[in-house]
């Protein structure tokens, strides 16, 4: 049986594989760490260090996303939890009820994180492990957005093929690469450690790794191609439009100059330098 989380490797720990279960344990640790640094105080600075463009009197008195993450009411109310404690407590309640565990006198983010981490192996054997994994990933992403600790965006979507023949589709992230260098001072040289965001890459879904520089170059080229395709204009019925060079390369029109001539003659307008290939194809009678 394959892992229900990455659908690529064989399940070795319940319904999951070792890397996926280890990733869940790390996410729990990161959630607790991010929760400890939440602050509802509105910041005067933007993430890039510049001041905001609104007056202080016009800004919200507190950061609403942080208030939602720290709201204690969804632990007590029978509603969909959205706070850190609420999300974690919703899952520890399932574990405590099913395993007949005793309840602590007071539930906290730390107590609920410990309970989930302690019983993670058992949770991996339950049919809802994929739902737990999704909730933890969403919660950690919300915390990082609120704390502005998300780091650089993913470099690409994962193109590794799953066992069902479809692309993984997970996000590929670069790990920081640590190196030692020397800084020249007026009276001496000082050795310093530098972290650069250009280390090996990994997929957060299937666990795929890219360590070779040539592999990373290829991955970045694929990502750039995907971005271009996402920006490509489409016709009203959803067909991709093509540039003049693409029309010639695919045999729709014999030359780039003919593209311009046919477009003018047929009244076909370009959209950001792209044309409807069906409208300009020389095989279609004018």
Alpha-carbon distance of 171 to 206, in angstroms, equals 9
Count structural domains, the chain. 3
24 and 99 together in one domain: yes
250 and 122: one domain?
no
Whether 216 maps to a domain, the answer reads yes
Indicate the pLDDT class of residue 75, thresholds 50, 70 and 90.
low
- DSSP lists the bridge partners of residue 100 as none
The answer as to whether 48 is a domain residue is no
* Residue located via tokens 């502005």: 148
Please name which of 129, 212, 198, 201 lies closest in space to residue 159, comparing C-alpha atoms: 201
Residue 247 lies in a domain: yes
Most confident of 116-130, 160-174, 252-266: 116-130
Strands 156-157, 209-210: pairing is: unpaired
* Whether residue 140 is found in the same domain as residue 173: no
Note whether residue 49 is domain-resident: no
pLDDT value at 285 more than 50: no
User: What pLDDT is stored for residue 98 in this prediction?
Assistant: 95
The verdict on residue 99 lying in a domain is yes
Cα angle value 24/118/131 (rounded, 5°):
40
Full residue range of the structural domain in which residue 248 is found = 233-280
Residue 46, pLDDT score: 39
Q: What is the mean pLDDT of the chain?
A: 80
pLDDT in tens, 14-70: 999 999 999 999 999 999 999 988 865 444 433 444 444 444 444 444 467 777 788
Is the pLDDT at 105 greater than 80? The verdict is yes
Q: Which of 250, 230, 243 has its CA nearest to residue 275?
A: 243
Spatial CB neighbours of 147, under 8 Å, sequence gap ≥ 6: 34, 37, 38
Full-model pTM = 0.53
């Amino acid at each position: 049986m394959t892992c229900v989380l990455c659908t690529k490797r064989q399940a070795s720990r319940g319904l999951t594989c070792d890397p996926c279960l280890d990733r869940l344990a790390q996410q729990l640790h990161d959630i607790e760490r991010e929760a400890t640094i939440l602050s509802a105080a509105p910041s005067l600075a933007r993430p890039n260090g510049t001041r905001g463009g609104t007056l202080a009197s016009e800004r919200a008195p507190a950061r609403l996303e942080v208030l939602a993450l720290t709201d204690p009411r969804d632990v007590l109310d029978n509603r969909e939890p959205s706070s850190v404690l609420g999300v974690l407590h919703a899952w520890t309640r399932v574990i405590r009820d099913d395993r007949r565990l005793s309840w602590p006198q007071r539930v906290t983010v730390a107590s609920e994180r410990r309970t989930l981490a302690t019983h993670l192996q058992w949770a991996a054997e339950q049919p809802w492990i994929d739902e737990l994994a999704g909730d933890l990933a969403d919660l950690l992403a919300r915390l990082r957005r609120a704390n502005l600790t998300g780091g650089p965006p993913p470099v690409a979507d994962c193109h590794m093929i799953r066992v069902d023949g479809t692309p993984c589709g997970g996000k590929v992230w670069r790990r920081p690469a640590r190196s030692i260098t020397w800084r020249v001072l007026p009276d001496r040289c000082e050795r310093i450690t530098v972290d650069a965001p250009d280390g090996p890459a990994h997929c957060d879904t299937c666990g795929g790794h890219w360590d070779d520089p040539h592999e990373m170059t290829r991955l970045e080229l694929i990502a750039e191609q995907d971005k271009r395709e996402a920006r490509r204009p489409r016709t009203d019925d959803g067909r991709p439009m093509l540039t003049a060079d693409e029309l010639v390369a695919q045999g729709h029109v014999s030359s780039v100059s003919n593209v311009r001539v046919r477009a003018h003659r047929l009244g076909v307008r370009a959209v950001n330098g792209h044309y409807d290939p069906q409208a300009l194809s020389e095989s279609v009678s004018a």
